[in-house]
Amino acid sequence: MSGLEPFGVRLRRAMDERGPLCVGIDPHASLLAEWGLNDDVAGLERFSRTVVEAVADRVAVLKPQSAFFERFGSRGVAVLEKSVAEARAAGALVVMDAKRGDIGSTMAAYAESFLHKDAPLFSDALTVSPYLGYGSLAPAIELARENGAGLFVLALTSNPEGGEVQHAVRPGGRNVGATMLAHLAAENAGEEPLGSFGAVVGATLGDLSTYDLDINGPLLAPGIGAQGATPADLPSVFGAAVRNVVPNVSRGVLRHGPDRVALRDAVERFAEEIRHAVTSS
């Protein structure tokens, strides 16, 4: 065992103490350019260090998108390793947005890359794709449990293309997205104060009252800010499950860089809007 408390326990505490906001670290080329940085490893490192130093001590979660680091090869991955370690040292939980998904030994290897306590990229949680069947996630679920980590499973994503898979109806009448939520509810059964196995559910999807979002686990909600959703939308989208929502904001915060004070101010504004929306619901 890793000695870490379960991810759900640590996440609930962080959300209660710091608020539920998750800030993405998405150093894509256009954003590096907006910051006046070159699209190279030096620019990547400057960007990532600035975000971590500005906000890791005040948000519950930081969510690096691994693809934007991997595109630079081993040197980019080295920057990612350092960013993860520094973010966790500052008290933020790190959700690695890598959306891994495979079967058997390959899924186990993906899990070992991000969920084993001794891995250079060890993160508090990992985003995963269940679309080789929920059972294909078993190696990741097992390793997460052993190491006090968690998963966020793609369930109802905000991209329009997702519906052709997630809204497909299975025998018995339940669609695929709802099936994933049911699996997660079973995974988290009996866990207190919050299970460690969450779902990715887009904040842009509108009324989700036909879905049972009470999975006793966190709901990672992309779409706040640049994608069109606002903190005020959260209660109407997530209903009674809103207390377990981890709203993700990326460009809405990052566009204020590279000024660290402006980044912190943006975080405070979103955090206050989210706090008001959740407590007023």
Catalytic residue among 63, 82, 99, 117: 99
CB distance 249 to 23 below 8 Å = yes
Which residues are within 8 A (CB) of 222 and not within 5 positions of it... i.e. 6 or more apart? 157, 158, 200, 202, 203, 248, 250
Tell me the three-class secondary structure of 212-257, residue by residue.
Answer: CCCCCCCEEEEEECCCCECHHHHHHHHHHHHHHEEEEECHHHHCCC
Helix (H, G, I), strand (E, B) or coil at 153: strand
Contacts of residue 42, defined as CB under 8 A and 6 or more positions apart, other chains included, come to none
Is 99 a residue of the active site? yes
- Between CA 97 and CA 123 the distance in angstroms is 10
CB-based contacts of 207, cutoff 8 Å, min separation 6: 236, 237
Residue 73: partners with Cβ closer than 8 Å, 6 or more residues away: none
Residue 188 and residue 233 in contact, taking contact as beta carbons nearer than 8 Å: no
Cα–Cα–Cα angle for 226, 231, 229, rounded to 5 degrees: 35
The residues assigned a catalytic role are: 99
